[in-house]
Amino acid sequence: RNPIDDDVTAPPRLTTSEAALAAADRVAAEITPGSAERERTGAVLVPQLRLVAEAGLLGISVPTGHGGPGLPASTVVEVLRRLSRADGAVGQLLLSHFVIAQAISGLGSQEPAPRIYADLLAGAQLGNATAERGTKHALDRQTSVARRGDEWVLSGTKYYATGALGASWIAVAARIEGRDGDTATVFVRPDQPGVTLDLDTWSAFGQRGTASGAVKLDGVVVDAALVIDEGPPPDPVDGPPSLLGAFDQASHAATAIGTARAALEDGAEL
């Protein structure tokens, strides 16, 4: 069960970039104290994630067509930078949230976009379950999803699942069984039968609070509306560059720059 879902009060709608950045600054001021101690102890960052959700920051990129403010990517990247400056693990936890939210924008009114976006506006967080161990490359996925009438069945194990901590929805990358090379993104709830979060297996130098451990999927039954059939993936070498890829890299850069700025300031103070 997501430890945040039942505790988040109705978040405000941040309709301008100025409002979003001001909210990010307020949250940053609250989570900066104690960030080094939380890193040393490997503290679970649920209280910090709750502050982000209650500030309304998780819904800033929801398109206007879904009732959101549709704030630009530049604002999202700057919010991530400011949160990462306060606590690098918090920024890293939320990176996949904004990338996944951007990824489903191309669906328009097609499910699961309306369902997911409505939850984001209510304070829900998205998590990632993409990477696997023991595969040849990023597109060599052993996690599979198979069609069973109006439902799909998902099985496999994911590692480095950053953002699964605190997530209301986890986006799982899988291959479609029986269709050579075709892939899908499957949205699951962390509390539904067959989903196990084994996040405390994460061992890292830095950003320990991300709890980027494993997500285990054992015959998880998923409604067809929560499966995005993507067909064959683009060629990683010859495929065209994408706006989503650029946004993903900009978001990664924002977390690194925010963390580096904090290190520089802490060093100067010392």
- Report the DSSP pairing between strands 151-158 and 144-148: antiparallel
Q: How buried is residue 2: exposed, middle or buried, by Cβ count under 10 Å (0-12/13-18/19+)? A: buried
- Report the DSSP pairing between strands 169-176 and 144-148: parallel
In one-letter notation, the amino acid at residue 152 is W
Written as six digits, the tokens of 88 are 């690098």
What are the tens digits of pLDDT across the range 69-78? 999 999 999 9
Lowest mean pLDDT, pick from 143-152, 188-197, 228-237? 228-237
Is the alpha carbon torsion for 225, 192, 125, 122 positive or negative? Answer: positive
Decide: pTM greater than 0.75: yes
Q: What is the DSSP letter of 72?
A: -
User: Can you give the pLDDT at residue 5?
Assistant: 55
User: 250 falls in which pLDDT band (50, 70, 90)?
Assistant: very high
- The CA distance from 50 to 3, in Å, is 9
Q: What's the rounded mean pLDDT across residues 91-104?
A: 96
pLDDT exceeds 50 at position 1? no
Which among 152, 147, 154 has a CA at the least distance from the CA of 178? 147
Which among 201, 163, 159, 215 has a CA at the least distance from the CA of 52? 163
pLDDT exceeds 60 at position 4? no
In one-letter notation, the amino acid at residue 69 is P
Distances (CA, A) of 251 to 7, 94, 99, 135, 195: 27, 10, 8, 26, 28
- The CA distance from 206 to 39, in Å, is 7
Q: How buried is residue 171: exposed, middle or buried, by Cβ count under 10 Å (0-12/13-18/19+)? A: buried
> Do residues 95 and 130 lie in contact, with contact meaning Cβ atoms separated by under 8 Å?
no
